[in-house]
Amino acid sequence: MKLLHRNKDQIDEGQLEELITESQDLHLDAMRDTMAVLPNLRDLAADRRRQGAQLPTAPELEAFSDARSALVRTLGLAAGGIAGFGALTALLSRPAAADTALDVQILQTAVSLELLAVATYGAALTLPFISDGNPVIIKFAQTTMDQHDQHRQAFSAQTKALGGVDQTATNPKYTPIVEAAKPTLAAPADVVALAATLEQVATETYLSDLNMFTDVTSRVLMASVMGVECQHLATLRAVGALLAGAPDLIKIPIGADVAKLPAAAGSVAFPDAFEGVAMASPPQEGAVK
């Protein structure tokens, strides 16, 4: 339907009036139906939370989201510009319990990344060039594996606190990548590079997640874990650089040999003033299906 005749720059007022009437009818119908259902949805969500019942699963949320988006698009096309439509859109944009469900998905994905990190460091420690290699790298792998396991426990506990189901599987996107990389690991630098990738994914995922949380406790917990994963990443970057040029300087305490460190050791661990989120995993990636 063309409302504006380009050549004449005139609005077809008859067609516009017809469209407005049609839009108002759609709007009223949608308002009536939606307002009738929303209280029930809120009550249902509250009941499910009180009973500790499982929150909507990822596919359920996705389906709901798709349906909601389609409805919003349909109504948006038909009823755009109608007064009061914004309020309806806002209501439809915030389904009952969906925010908590998103929090749960974020935490489940975090658990999946932590599980994969634990498994990867564990596998690395079985490699002879690691287990028989530099003691600092061995200690780092052991300590970091333990720290990731504690992160996993904390995220799992928080998942359950929000009424969600604990994730027990490793991350579905990066597990195949790690498995494919394992046969190619031939030297400590290979392991460090792989671990750095996982640490960067975790760091950026958690950074990306922070402002999606509605639950502040979850957000603070994630920031606390993020502050440690980024230090793992910084250490791996520094170790990776030293492996390439001065492996003997990978020692703690470094002592007087700090004077032998290449200048780049003072900046390689934090190449940018701000951390990005390009490698962040979306909340749904590791959610329980």
Partner 1 sequence: MSDQVTTPSLSRRRLLGSAGAVGLGLVIAACGSDTKDAALSNSTGTGGTTPGSATTLATPGTSGATTAGTTAPTDGGSVDLKVAKLAASLEVLAVGTYKAALDAATAGKLGTVPAAVGEFVTTAMSQHQAHLDAWNKVLTGAGETAVTEPNATLKPTVDAAFGKVTDVTGATMLALQLEEIAAATYNNAQSVLTDKDAIKLAGSIQIIDAQHAAILHFVLGDYPVPDVFAKVDMAAAA
Asked if 214 interacts with partner 1 (CB under 8 A), we say yes
Residue type, 34: T
Which of 109, 134, 171, 235: binder of partner 1 (CB under 8 A)? 235
Omega before 253 within 30 of 0, i.e. cis: yes
> Nearest-CA neighbor of 202 among 106, 130, 62, 101?
106
The residue among 32 and 260 lying less far from partner 1, judged by its C-beta, is 260
> In sequence order, which ranges of 182-267 are alpha helices (DSSP H)?
188-210, 216-245
Asked if 262 interacts with partner 1 (CB under 8 A), we say yes
List beta partners, residue 12: none
The residue among 14 and 52 lying less far from partner 1, judged by its C-beta, is 52
Return the H-helix or E-strand segment holding 159.
helix 135-161
Q: What is the Cα–Cα distance from 118 to 127, expressed in whole angstroms?
A: 15
Asked if 270 interacts with partner 1 (CB under 8 A), we say yes
Which of 4, 11, 70, 258: binder of partner 1 (CB under 8 A)? 258
Asked if 210 interacts with partner 1 (CB under 8 A), we say yes
Return the H-helix or E-strand segment holding 4.
strand 4-5
| Shortest Cβ 218–partner 1 spacing (Å) | 8
Q: What is the Cα–Cα distance from 182 to 211, expressed in whole angstroms?
A: 34
Asked if 278 interacts with partner 1 (CB under 8 A), we say no
Give the footprint of partner 1 on residues 170-199 (CB under 8 A).
Answer: none
Which of 81, 86, 183, 253: binder of partner 1 (CB under 8 A)? 253
> In sequence order, which ranges of 80-124 are alpha helices (DSSP H)?
85-93, 98-124
> Going by C-beta distance under 8 Å and a sequence separation of 6 or more, which residues neighbour residue 244?
189
The residue among 2 and 50 lying less far from partner 1, judged by its C-beta, is 50
The residue among 79 and 207 lying less far from partner 1, judged by its C-beta, is 207
Signed CA dihedral, 73, 79, 83, 88: sign only: negative
| Shortest Cβ 255–partner 1 spacing (Å) | 3
Number of residues that bind partner 1 (CB under 8 A): 65
Q: Which stretch binds partner 1 (CB under 8 A): 27-35, 81-89, 154-162, 182-190?
A: 154-162
Asked if 248 interacts with partner 1 (CB under 8 A), we say no
> Nearest-CA neighbor of 209 among 117, 137, 282?
282
Asked if 93 interacts with partner 1 (CB under 8 A), we say no
Q: What is the Cα–Cα distance from 107 to 212, expressed in whole angstroms?
A: 11
Q: What is the Cα–Cα distance from 206 to 203, expressed in whole angstroms?
A: 5
Give the footprint of partner 1 on residues 5-64 (CB under 8 A).
Answer: 49-50, 52
Asked if 115 interacts with partner 1 (CB under 8 A), we say no
Asked if 142 interacts with partner 1 (CB under 8 A), we say no
Tokens representing 46 are 């509250």
Binding site for partner 1 (CB under 8 A): 49-50, 52, 99-100, 103, 139, 143-144, 146-147, 150-151, 154, 161-163, 203, 206-208, 210-211, 214-221, 223-228, 230-235, 238, 252-259, 261-267, 269-270, 272-275
